[in-house]
Amino acid sequence: MSLSTVEAIAGDLPPEDPAVKGIQGRTPLQLVVARLRTDRVAIISIVVILLIIILAIAAPLIAGITGHGATDANVDTGTDASGQPLPPGSAGYLLGTDNLGRDILVRIAYGARVSLLVGVLATAIATIVGVVVGLFAGYFGGWLDGILARIMDVVLSFPYVLFAIVLVSVFGSSLPLVILVIAFFSFAAIGRIVRGQALSQREKEYVEAAHSLGAGNLRIMFVDILPNLVAPVIVLATLLIPTAIIFEATLSFLGLGVTPPTPSWGNMLSDAEGVGFQAWWFYIFPMLFLLLTTLAFNLLGDAVRDALDPRAERIFAARRKKAA
Amino acid sequence: MPDPAADGDILLGAEDIVKHFPIKEGIFFKHQVGSVKAVDGVSLQVRRGETLGLVGETGCGKSTLARCIMRLFPLTSGHLTFDGADLSTLSRSGMRPYRRGMQMIFQDPYGSLNSRRRVGSIIGDPLAIHHVASGAERRKRVQGLMEVVGLNPEHYNRFPAEFSGGQRQRIGVARALALHPKLIVCDEPVSALDVSIQAQIINLLEDLQGEFGLTYIFIAHDLAVVQHVSDRVAVMYLGKIVEVADVKDLYSTPHHPYTNALLSASVVADPDKARTRDRIILTGDVPSPINPPSGCRFHTRCPKAQPICSTEEPLLKSGVGDPPGHVTACHFPVAEGEKLASEKATILHAVEGFLAEAPT
Amino acid sequence: MTRFLIRRIVFGLITLWVIITLVFVLYYARPGVDPARELAGRAVTPALLENINKEYGFNLPVIVQYWNYLKRLVPIPGQFNLGTSNVNRLPVTTIIAQAVPIDISLAVGSAILWMVLGISVGVLAARRPRSLWDRGATVFVLTGVSMPTFILGLLLLYVLYYLLTIHGIAIFPKPGSWTPFTQNPLEWAHDLLLPWITLALITAATYSRLTRSSLLETLGEDYIRTARAKGLSERRVVYRHGLRSSLTPIVTQFGIDLATVLGGAIITESIFGLPGLGLTVVQAIEVENLPVVIGIVLVASFFVVAANIVVDALYAVLDPRVRVS
Q: Which chains touch B (3 or more CB pairs under 8 A)?
A: A, C
Report, as an integer, the average pLDDT of C298-325: 78
Q: Which chains touch C (3 or more CB pairs under 8 A)?
A: A, B
C-beta pairs of C111-114 under 8 Å, 24+ apart in sequence: C111/C254, C111/C257, C111/C258, C111/C261, C113/C196, C113/C197, C113/C199, C113/C200, C113/C204, C114/C199, C114/C200, C114/C201, C114/C203, C114/C204, C114/C207, C114/C257
Distances (CA, A) of B51 to B106, B145, B208, B320: 16, 22, 12, 26
What angle do helix axes C132-146 and C92-127 make, rounded to 10 degrees? 150
Mutate to test the interface with A, among B112, B158, B211 (most CBs of A within 10 A): B112
CA pair distance A281, A292, nearest whole angstrom: 16
What is the per-residue pLDDT across B272-310, written as a single tens digit (0 to 9) for each? Answer: 665 556 667 677 777 888 888 888 988 888 888 888 888
Structure confidence at residue A226 (pLDDT): 92
Pick from A255, A262, A240: which is nearest to A112 by CA?
A: A262
CA distance B25 to chain C (A): 10
Structure confidence at residue A48 (pLDDT): 94
Torsion of CA C132, C137, C139, C142, to 10 degrees: -150
pTM confidence score: 0.83
Pick from A279, A286, A189: which is nearest to A246 by CA?
A: A286
Q: With an 8 Å Cβ cutoff, are B212 and A219 in contact? A: no
Of C129, C266, C293, which has the smallest distance from its Cβ to A161's Cβ? C266
Pick from C322, C207, C292: which is nearest to C255 by CA?
A: C207
Interface residues of B toward C, Cβ cutoff 8 Å, are: 27-28
Q: Would you give the DSSP letter of residue C169?
A: -
Q: With an 8 Å Cβ cutoff, are B140 and A214 in contact? A: no
Asked if residue A295 belongs to a domain, the reply is yes
Q: With an 8 Å Cβ cutoff, are A249 and C278 in contact? A: no
Chain B residues with beta carbon closer than 8 angstroms to that of C10: 28
Distances (CA, A) of A125 to A150, A170, A182, A296, B309: 20, 22, 9, 21, 65
CA distance A270 to chain C (A): 10
The CATH number of the structural domain formed by B10-101+181-357 is: 3.40.50.300
Q: Which residue has the higher pLDDT, C233 or B101?
A: B101
Structure confidence at residue A1 (pLDDT): 36
CA pair distance B196, B165, nearest whole angstrom: 12
Mutate to test the interface with A, among B63, B96, B103, B114 (most CBs of A within 10 A): B114
What is the per-residue pLDDT across C75-85, written as a single tens digit (0 to 9) for each? Answer: 877 778 888 88
CA distance B75 to chain A (A): 15
Q: Which residue has the higher pLDDT, C55 or B247?
A: B247
Chain B residues with beta carbon closer than 8 angstroms to that of A10: 140-141, 143-144, 147
What is the per-residue pLDDT across B108-135, written as a single tens digit (0 to 9) for each? Answer: 888 899 988 999 999 999 999 999 988 8
Q: With an 8 Å Cβ cutoff, are B129 and A209 in contact? A: no
Of C151, C259, C282, which has the smallest distance from its Cβ to A290's Cβ? C151
Size of interface A-B (CB pairs under 8 A): 112
Q: Would you give the DSSP letter of residue A259?
A: P
Which CATH superfamily does the domain covering C92-324 fall into?
Answer: MetI-like (1.10.3720.10)
DSSP characters over C57-71:
TTTS-HHHHHHHHHH
Burial class (CB in 10 A: 0-12, 13-18, 19+), A22: exposed
CA distance B31 to chain C (A): 15
Statement: residue B5 has pLDDT above 80? no
What angle do helix axes B195-212 and B165-177 make, rounded to 10 degrees? 20
- The residues spanned by each domain of chain C are 2-73, 92-324
Contacts of A195 by beta carbon, 8 Å cutoff, 6+ apart = A133, A134, A135, A137, A138, A145, A148, A149, A152
Of C26, C142, C308, which has the smallest distance from its Cβ to A298's Cβ? C142
Of A9, A15, A219, which has the smallest distance from its Cβ to B148's Cβ? A9
CA pair distance B301, B349, nearest whole angstrom: 10
Structure confidence at residue A7 (pLDDT): 41
What is the per-residue pLDDT across C185-209, written as a single tens digit (0 to 9) for each? Answer: 888 888 899 999 999 999 999 899 8
**CATH number of A140's domain:** 1.10.3720.10
Report, as an integer, the average pLDDT of C229-237: 83
Q: pLDDT category, C118, cuts 50, 70, 90?
A: very high
- The residues spanned by each domain of chain B are 10-101+181-357
Structure confidence at residue B26 (pLDDT): 67
- Among the listed ranges A1-10, B277-286, B308-317, which one has the minimum average pLDDT value? A1-10
Structure confidence at residue B345 (pLDDT): 38
Pairing of strands B85-86, B51-55: unpaired
Statement: residue A2 has pLDDT above 50? no
Chain C residues with beta carbon closer than 8 angstroms to that of B30: none
What is the per-residue pLDDT across A89-114, written as a single tens digit (0 to 9) for each? Answer: 777 777 777 777 788 888 999 999 99
DSSP characters over C190-223:
HHHHHHHHHHHHHHHHHHHHHHHHHHHHHHTSHH
Q: pLDDT category, B270, cuts 50, 70, 90?
A: low
Q: pLDDT category, B234, cuts 50, 70, 90?
A: very high
Statement: residue C47 has pLDDT above 90? no
- 3 state SS of C302: helix
- State which residue of chain B sits closest to C7, comparing Cα positions: B27
Q: Which residue has the higher pLDDT, A17 or A187?
A: A187
Report, as an integer, the average pLDDT of B30-49: 88
CA distance B258 to chain A (A): 30
Structure confidence at residue B28 (pLDDT): 62
Q: With an 8 Å Cβ cutoff, are A290 and C142 in contact? A: no
Of B114, B156, B177, which has the smallest distance from its Cβ to A206's Cβ? B114
The mean predicted confidence, pLDDT, of chain B is 84
Q: With an 8 Å Cβ cutoff, are A9 and B93 in contact? A: no
Structure confidence at residue A246 (pLDDT): 92
Q: Residues B296, B302: contact at Cβ < 8 Å?
A: yes
Quick one: which H or E segment has residue C146? Answer: helix C132-146
Chain C residues with beta carbon closer than 8 angstroms to that of A163: 297
Domain count, chain A: 1
CA pair distance A163, A104, nearest whole angstrom: 31
Q: With an 8 Å Cβ cutoff, are B28 and C3 in contact? A: no
Instruction: For chain B, give the secondary structure using H, E and C.
Output: CCCCCCCCCEEEEEEEEEEEEEEEECCCCCEEEEEEEEEEEEEEEEECCCEEEEECCCCCCHHHHHHHHCCCCCCCEEEEEECCEECCCCCHHHHHHHHCCEEEECCCCCCCCCCCCCHHHHHHHHHHHCCCCCHHHHHHHHHHHHHHCCCCHHHHHCCHHHCCHHHHHHHHHHHHHCCCCCEEEEECCCCCCCHHHHHHHHHHHHHHHHHHCCEEEEECCCHHHHHHHCCEEEEEECCEEEEEEEHHHHHHCCCCHHHHHHHHHCCCCCHHHHHHCCCCCCCCCCCCCCCCCCCCCCCCCCCCCCHHHHHCCCCCECCCCCCCCCEECCCCCCCCCCCHHHCCCCCCCCCHHHHCCCCC
Chain C residues with beta carbon closer than 8 angstroms to that of A287: 151, 154-155
CA distance B28 to chain C (A): 7
DSSP characters over A38-75:
T-HHHHHHHHHHHHHHHHHHTHHHHHHHHT--TT---T
Chain A residues with beta carbon closer than 8 angstroms to that of B113: 206, 209
Statement: residue C254 has pLDDT above 80? yes
Pick from A110, A12, A122, A4: which is nearest to A60 by CA?
A: A110
CA distance B222 to chain A (A): 21
Residue range of the domain that includes A132? 41-88+115-316
Structure confidence at residue A136 (pLDDT): 95
